């Protein structure tokens, strides 16, 4: 029985619902509003036959979940992952709903996914899969309906194929239907590092309220993909932090007096992993999480901080660039132990914010310079941080619950005003 309970606790959608329930209680949400916000408004399951390079046809399963569009068209990434599940996609779509609300952009939340292993597929196979996905979900997406973006194991090239397939289906270009595109196809400057940059802005604000001097502060990053790599370089550039440890799926490295992020990135590009970086000690992913550092950045996958290891987390700030890295039980422990958590849908909202900027630029065919993107992102992330921090102080609650309170209140208001309940 205990084992089943543990599995249920780690179901990402069950976690998303439990987090919503907590906020609903604080806000005294009406039962009908609460019930509506606990489930996706619509979801589409698709079957994708794709011709492989060897001439065989492989059948893939995909999803698109549109969680809530009360505040505007839904928005959210598409993941290509061998372990993708509908519950993961539902949870991520829910978190996107709260994420767009917490940074106060006029969008709802969605997410998509295909069960596949892109590492085992050729570029031609990935292109055929990308186009097959859009042929199926194209009927429910669009600039005024639902706008996908890159996510785990998808990238600007995949977005370009998808935007092209959508244009073919429609008979005209509508570049705003997909964000995270290459610049030549209507992408936004500043999108590539937006998730990590937004995270650095909220870390900066958190450090101010906690009285932490970021210059010289130590930082450990679990997960060294796109967001983790930018977190390392921007942590040094914007905050003056010292990166003492980083890790990826193969293991981690530690150096007490600091790693050179650029050199580690080069090493990973050359060898495929951070492991074996010259002059650094090996460290496991589990050990990295428990290091005595000022700032911990979980930038990998879900459920890495649990009730089992939360008591050993010694960081002063945990800045969640990953989606769902902390379980509800772990949240309670971290809060009691004084770890200042910057919850995922606040901390990593820089990506969707600049994706929204991309939609705006596409809509009126005028593109901003990089400085304008950074300045507007900073303004949005700073305002979102302070809204969450103030809610946490007002209700005496942890930051994740406070972020939910801010976001759920905004979505609930839209639901009421539209007369849905």
CATH number of domain containing 359: 3.40.50.720
- DSSP 3-state assignment of 61? strand
Residues of the chain with pLDDT under 70: 1-10
Domain membership of residue 106 as a residue range: 42-185
- Domain end call among 185, 207, 231: 185
Beta strands in 236-364 (DSSP E): 242-248, 251-254, 281-283, 295-298, 317-319, 340-342
Residue with tokens 């069960």: 115
Tell me: do 215 and 363 sit in the same domain: yes
Tell me: do 225 and 118 sit in the same domain: no
Q: What is the CATH number of the domain that holds 98?
A: 3.40.50.10860
Residue 287's pLDDT is: 94
Tell me: do 179 and 196 sit in the same domain: no
Tell me: do 357 and 266 sit in the same domain: yes
Tell me: do 122 and 254 sit in the same domain: no
Residue 277 covered by a domain: yes
Residue 205's pLDDT is: 98
Non-local CB neighbours of 205 within 8 Å, separated by 6+ positions: 381, 382, 385, 386, 389
- Domain end call among 185, 219, 236: 185
Tell me: do 134 and 200 sit in the same domain: no
Percentage of the chain exceeding pLDDT 90:
91
Tell me: do 286 and 298 sit in the same domain: yes
Tell me: do 330 and 420 sit in the same domain: yes
Residue 217 covered by a domain: yes
- Is 111 a catalytic site residue? yes
Residue 11's pLDDT is: 86
Residue 36 covered by a domain: no
Residue 5's pLDDT is: 39
Residue 240 covered by a domain: yes
Which one of the listed residues 22, 99, 111, 255 is annotated catalytic?
Answer: 111
Residue 324's pLDDT is: 83
Non-local CB neighbours of 83 within 8 Å, separated by 6+ positions: 115
- Domain end call among 135, 161, 185: 185
Residue 308 covered by a domain: yes
Name the strands in the sheet holding 281-283, side by side, starting at the edge strand that comes first in the sequence. 281-283, 251-254, 242-248, 218-222, 295-298, 317-319, 340-342
Task: Tell me the pLDDT of the chain averaged across its residues.
Answer: 94
Residue 323's pLDDT is: 82
Which bin fits 85, alpha (ψ -120 to 50), beta or left (φ > 0)? beta
Residue 4's pLDDT is: 38
Tell me: do 253 and 272 sit in the same domain: yes
- CA–CA separation, 60 vs 46, rounded Å? 8
Q: How far is CA 365 from CA 100, 106, 279, 362, 368, in A?
A: 23, 19, 49, 5, 10
- CA–CA separation, 104 vs 110, rounded Å? 16
Residue 8 covered by a domain: no
Tell me: do 217 and 165 sit in the same domain: no
362 CB-side CA count, 13 A? 27
Residue 388 covered by a domain: yes
The total of structural domains in the chain comes to 2
Tell me: do 301 and 175 sit in the same domain: no
Tell me: do 213 and 226 sit in the same domain: yes
Residue 9 covered by a domain: no
């Amino acid at each position: 029985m205990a084992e089943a309970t543990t599995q249920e606790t780690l179901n990402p959608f069950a976690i998303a619902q439990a987090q919503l329930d907590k906020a609903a209680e604080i806000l005294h949400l009406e039962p009908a509003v609460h019930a509506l916000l606990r489930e996706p408004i619509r979801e589409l399951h698709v079957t994708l036959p794709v011709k492989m390079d060897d001439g065989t046809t492989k059948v893939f399963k995909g999803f698109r979940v549109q969680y809530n569009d009360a505040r505007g068209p839904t928005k959210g990434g598409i993941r290509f992952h061998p372990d993708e599940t509908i519950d993961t996609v539902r949870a991520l779509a829910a978190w996107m709903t709260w994420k767009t609300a917490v940074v106060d952009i006029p969008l709802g939340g969605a997410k998509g996914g295909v069960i596949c292993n892109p590492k085992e597929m050729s570029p031609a196979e990935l292109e055929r899969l990308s186009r097959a996905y859009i042929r199926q979900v194209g009927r429910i997406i669009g600039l005024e309906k639902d706008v996908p973006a890159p996510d785990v194991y998808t990238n600007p090239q995949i977005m370009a194929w998808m935007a092209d397939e959508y244009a073919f289906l429609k008979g005209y270009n509508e570049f705003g239907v997909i964000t995270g595109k290459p610049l030549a196809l209507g992408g936004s400057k500043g999108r590539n590092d937006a998730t990590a940059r937004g995270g650095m802005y909220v870390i900066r604000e958190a450090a101010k309220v906690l009285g932490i001097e970021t210059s010289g502060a130590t930082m450990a990053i679990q997960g060294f993909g796109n967001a983790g790599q930018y977190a390392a370089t921007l942590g040094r550039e914007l905050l003056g932090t010292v990166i003492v440890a980083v890790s990826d799926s193969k293991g981690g490295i530690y150096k007490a007096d600091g790693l050179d992020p650029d050199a580690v990135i080069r090493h990973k590009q050359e060898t495929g992993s951070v492991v074996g970086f010259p002059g650094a000690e090996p460290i496991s992913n589990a050990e990295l999480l428990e290091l005595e550092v000022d700032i911990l950045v979980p930038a990998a996958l879900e459920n890495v901080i649990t009730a089992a290891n939360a008591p050993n987390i010694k960081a002063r700030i945990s800045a969640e660039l990953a989606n769902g890295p902390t379980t509800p039980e772990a949240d309670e422990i971290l809060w009691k132990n004084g770890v200042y958590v910057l919850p995922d849908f606040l901390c990593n909202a820089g990506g969707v914010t600049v994706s929204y900027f991309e939609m705006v630029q596409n809509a009126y065919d005028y593109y901003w310079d990089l400085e304008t993107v950074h300045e507007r992102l900073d303004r949005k992330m700073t305002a979102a941080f302070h809204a969450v921090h103030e809610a946490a102080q007002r209700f005496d609650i942890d930051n994740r619950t406070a972020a939910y309170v801010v976001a759920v209140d905004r979505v609930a208001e839209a639901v009421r005003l539209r007369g849905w309940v």
